Structure 1
């Protein structure tokens, strides 16, 4: 499948984040296992934020933001063979259709297939990276998408709407702070409404009083993300709030409040 990858010269996968050894290592490039022989059963690709238009190198801070989530996912999923990579874009800009960041995300999925074989992949993005995750979800190896504070462009007359058909058959979770001044939470709600019509396995959580960085309730957001990713990648049960959000009809399942303290009894 790698021969069909888009031209994403300069894009690459960051080092493996795992619970093996000191938490970082290099997976065998040709087989579905670590050098120590433990199997890789699923992969989460972290997609950092970006910019609408830029050819500058990606910001280091954009990668740092996702590091706590990557470590939490790798730690929680280590016993089941989950590994995490941060995608290193060729540049920080979306740069018009079809979107360089989305192309880089698709290339990264192809690279995962080349390295690990037929394993489920979750695309987990923040801000512009969340948009890239949603766009790249149509790859057959992708079974789930986590979109944190997604950047969704304003619709304008004559301009195409953000695509949603590629989300069919995937598990999709959108998380947005209600006080986000950088990416409009109402736009992500409208996107979720459209996505729900083509994919019932779509839900959206609102983090009340939180802003774009989702920093006031960081622990709850990471717990929610971990619950979703492990449940989606390994087809195991979700916590009750996530299960209820998927099952609830719009708009209830698309405006699900993230409760304070979520994760303290995660699967209780």
Structure 2
């Protein structure tokens, strides 16, 4: 078992901010989450979008110990350990997570380094503990997602609102869990969110209740084109540095 950490794909000199991407996984699995699995690869276009939007910030992908949530919130513990042990120069972290990664970024979104939380098709089951999230908070979920429930995302957002946390929730019409039908719109959301969280005092529009449609900024994509864009992003963004947590995450 490897320790949790971060694969940095962009780390400009003097960076004090980090956009940190958390990939999806499984409900139960202690298997190795190797770097060529589909849930991890799906995050690479978001890394490219974040780098373009906030070029002065570092960009990295979280490495978990295991593939699964495992009933003990293993990915959330890994992510919190990463936030605790990042070099002191990193002062602000924007968290962006998909599916199980969306659940993880919500679970640790109260960390003092967090400057914003974006959850894409998050897995937020009934009874998920409420976290006092920091910075702008946005959830986005495909209307045709059959893996994680967009209604559960809206329900969790409404609980946050009732507790005093402003949340924007986007319904991504015609999109499924893999986010391959409207990849340009997902990329635009990631870029806009990262830039707003790190470079603007205005968090942007906040929906007071329910959901609003995610704007369509480009024609919908074919599956081969979407997969091709993932492969291209992976090839164009090599890992430039690796950071590993030195202490074991709390059990």
TM superposition shift of 1:232: 0.9
Local SS of the residue matching 1:84: strand
2:4 is equivalent to residue 17 of structure 1 = no
Give runs of aligned pairs for residues 77-156 of structure 1, distance below 5 A: 77-78=54-55, 81-97=56-72, 99-112=73-86, 115-153=87-125, 155=126
Report runs of 4+ in structure 1 exceeding 6 Å deviation. none
2:19 is equivalent to residue 40 of structure 1 = no
Q: CA RMSD, aligned part only?
A: 1.9
TM-score (norm 2): 0.80
Q: 1:140 to 1:67 in 2, by over 3 A?
A: same
User: Which of 1 and 2 has higher RCO (CA within 8 Å, sep 6+)?
Assistant: 2
Does 183-192 or 228-237 show the bigger shift?
228-237
Unaligned ranges ≥5, structure 2: 219-251
TM superposition shift of 1:139: 1.0
Between the aligned partners of 2:58 and 2:162, the Cα distance in structure 1 is 32
TM-score (norm 1): 0.75
Given that residues 18 and 92 in structure 2 are in contact (C-alpha distance below 8 angstroms), is that contact kept between their aligned partners in structure 1? yes
Between the aligned partners of 2:27 and 2:198, the Cα distance in structure 1 is 30
Give runs of aligned pairs for residues 1-268 of structure 1, distance below 5 A: 10-14=3-7, 16-18=8-10, 34=12, 38-59=13-34, 60=36, 61-78=38-55, 81-97=56-72, 99-112=73-86, 115-153=87-125, 155=126, 161-167=127-133, 169-237=134-202, 243-244=204-205, 246=206, 248-251=207-210, 255-261=211-217
Deviations 1:152-207 (A, max 9, x none): 22x3xxxxx2122331x431110100000111111111011111122433111010
TM superposition shift of 1:76: 1.8
